[in-house]
Structure 1
Amino acid sequence: MPPNPRIGSHDHATLSRFDPLSRIICLDDFDRGFCGWTQLVGNYEDDLDAMLPGYAQHSSPMLSTIGNWDSGSHGGVDGDYVLKIATPPRAGAQNVAIKRLTFRQPGPIRLEAYVTFKPEASELRLSETDIRSFGFLFDLQGSDQAGPGSERVMPHVRFLNASDGKHVQKWQFKRQAVPIVPIGTDNKTISHYHLAPDGWEDLEGGEQRLCYNEIPTKINWHYLRFDFDLAAMQCTHFQCNDRVFDVSGFDSLRIPAMKNLWCMLNIAFFAETDTDKRAFLYLDSVCLSGDF
């Protein structure tokens, strides 16, 4: 890809560690701030208490230097700040950060990111099974010109690290729809908590042992790549570090299209804790690219 004079040297360094498609939709390095990532707020109408409980637990992501008590601050891959997604300190609690976009043309897209995960380092032990899972999802909907049968399509991927204190270490996906709940009385708003713990399926050959360093404050960054075709609404590639996984059996959660979400292209990352301790998912940088 030829150099773009409007891209600074730091952005070129960030981009060089990704393998983007021909068009960069966004290149988010959190040394530059939040880059449009925000809290996933649940739908409500008239009263905040109308929000489903799954969403009510969410809080805003934070910019972090990954501070800790033994070495000060860890920082990111090549800078000071990362995006930190932190759960409440309650077993099974979750938190989600989201970026909300729309697409200009339904074609191939590629999500790439450098991520790492740790529980809060509140004990002098490794705590490698304290995080239940982390993962990412898209929330997609076709054009308003798509015609009858248009769908809202939500590919979900998670790394199930542990369950009830036992190491699991495998990738999963979710296609089981969840109940849709009306919100308010004006027939304009509905909600569904699609990150509920049930309905996850194992990805074929999805077992993977990720790098998890030897003390509670050490981290190592992991590379993720997920390719998706917006025209076919199908996943075409999933990779973590050196492993490329078989996605022939992968499918997405699908529900009827909603009347005000046309051309939606939302990305989200999430974390879930397995103990009464906060779980942290850190994003160093995220690149979304497309071929259109």
Structure 2
Amino acid sequence: MFAAAHVNYAQTLSRFDPLPRIIAMDDFDRGFCGWTQLVGNYEDSLDAMLPGYAQHSSPMLSTLPHWDAGSHGGVDGDYALKIATRPRIGAQNVAIKRLTFRKAGPIRMEAYLTFKPEASALKLSETDVRSIGFLFDLQVGDQMAGSGHRVMPHMRFLNAADGKHIQKWQFKRQSVPIVPIGTENKTISHYHLSPDGWEDLAGGDQKLCYNEIPTKVNWHYIRFDFDLASMQCTGFRCNDREFDVSGFDSIRLPAMKNLWCMLNLAFFAEADADKRALLYLDSVCLSGDF
């Protein structure tokens, strides 16, 4: 059993180009691998949660079932992590993995993913997913207190808007208001995935593979490089395209008193029709050079 698991791990890792140290190698044939629902902050009552977070639900393990031929499965196994929105225009959902870092150095995130709307109509529905994307939520170590920042790189593929195909990559650096939660001055919140403030990545137009009927999917490769020392993006790739990130920037906030060395990674989906938007992650590799 150990030998089989070792071979499978090697096969999964071989499809990535990681930096020297593997921080996390998440193949969802092994389960949830630490990924969970992004729950909004609250105090005393769940009603204190901001509405953007209240809509979120837990990710699920899925074989990508479809009504006409069974199940797709993952890239080389049975399961993928499914992030599904509610069936409402503008609905969003987010899955997150929460870590901390042990050295501020270069990191690389790689993933194989695909997306589609729920196949509830016998037509292609290629504009029913508004966007899919990912973000990091990072903060410096406690020795930087007073001069450091909480830094949140965001990247999304804007697939469609108001029923029209857009197909381009965007980033976000505009912060949103911070809202105090409760009465003890311990908890705050801000919904950073609001639809405002997205900017086009330079040369970020890209047509992704979207197959001919609403139940078919094709897997895409993405890679995002970031330096925790400078808190700057150093590279982004999707499939055969390497993008210019010289104009990329992140949401930057003052460091918060209980989030030192935070290294959180999240993926999200957003609907552009009154049906569920589905983002599937086959595998995610997070690596570093330290």
Encode CA deviations 1:142-168: one digit per residue, 9 max, x unaligned. 000114221000000000000000000
Distance between the aligned counterparts of 1:60 and 1:285, measured in 2?
Answer: 17
Contact map agreement 2:29 2:79 (CA 8 A) in 1: yes
Distance between the aligned counterparts of 2:139 and 2:5, measured in 1?
Answer: 31
SS in 2 for 1:91: coil
Residue of structure 1 equivalent to 2:184: 186
Match of 1:137 among 121, 135, 138: 135
Unaligned 5+ segments in structure 2 are none
Distance between the aligned counterparts of 1:148 and 1:45, measured in 2?
Answer: 26
Residue of structure 2 equivalent to 1:27: 25
Distance between the aligned counterparts of 1:165 and 1:152, measured in 2?
Answer: 35
Distance between the aligned counterparts of 1:182 and 1:90, measured in 2?
Answer: 28
Encode CA deviations 1:110-168: one digit per residue, 9 max, x unaligned. 00000000000000000000000000000000000114221000000000000000000
Give the TM-score, by structure 2 length: 0.98
Residue of structure 1 equivalent to 2:155: 157
Contact map agreement 2:145 2:255 (CA 8 A) in 1: no
Match of 2:207 among 209, 219, 227: 209
SS in 2 for 1:266: strand
SS in 2 for 1:8: helix
Q: Percent identity?
A: 80
Residue of structure 2 equivalent to 1:238: 236
Residue of structure 2 equivalent to 1:104: 102
Distance verdict in 2 for CA 1:50–1:15, change over 3 Å: same
SS in 2 for 1:136: strand
Distance between the aligned counterparts of 2:144 and 2:19, measured in 1?
Answer: 25
Contact map agreement 2:156 2:170 (CA 8 A) in 1: yes
Q: Which amino acid aligns with 2:80?
A: V
Residue of structure 2 equivalent to 1:91: 89
Unaligned 5+ segments in structure 1 are none
Encode CA deviations 1:217-271: one digit per residue, 9 max, x unaligned. 0000000000000000000000000000000000000000000000000000000
SS in 1 for 2:19: coil
Q: Within the alignment, does 1:275 sit opposite 2:273 as a pair?
A: yes
Distance between the aligned counterparts of 1:265 and 1:6, measured in 2?
Answer: 31
How far the C-alpha of 1:6 sits from its partner, in A, is 11
Encode CA deviations 1:70-92: one digit per residue, 9 max, x unaligned. 11011000000000000000000
SS in 1 for 2:113: strand
Encode CA deviations 1:180-225: one digit per residue, 9 max, x unaligned. 0000000000000000000000000000000000000000000000
Distance between the aligned counterparts of 1:109 and 1:146, measured in 2?
Answer: 20
Distance between the aligned counterparts of 1:166 and 1:6, measured in 2?
Answer: 46
Residue of structure 1 equivalent to 2:64: 66
Contact map agreement 2:20 2:287 (CA 8 A) in 1: yes
Give the TM-score, by structure 1 length: 0.98
Residue of structure 2 equivalent to 1:49: 47
SS in 2 for 1:113: strand
Residue of structure 2 equivalent to 1:8: 6
Q: Which amino acid aligns with 1:146?
A: M
Q: Which amino acid aligns with 1:55?
A: Y
Match of 1:256 among 250, 254, 257: 254
Q: Which amino acid aligns with 1:182?
A: P
SS in 1 for 2:11: helix
Distance between the aligned counterparts of 1:71 and 1:116, measured in 2?
Answer: 18
Contact map agreement 2:110 2:285 (CA 8 A) in 1: yes
Distance between the aligned counterparts of 1:174 and 1:71, measured in 2?
Answer: 39
Aligned length: 289
Distance between the aligned counterparts of 1:258 and 1:154, measured in 2?
Answer: 13
Contact map agreement 2:61 2:80 (CA 8 A) in 1: yes
Distance between the aligned counterparts of 1:207 and 1:83, measured in 2?
Answer: 26
Displaced runs of 4 or more, over 4 A: none
Distance between the aligned counterparts of 1:247 and 1:17, measured in 2?
Answer: 24
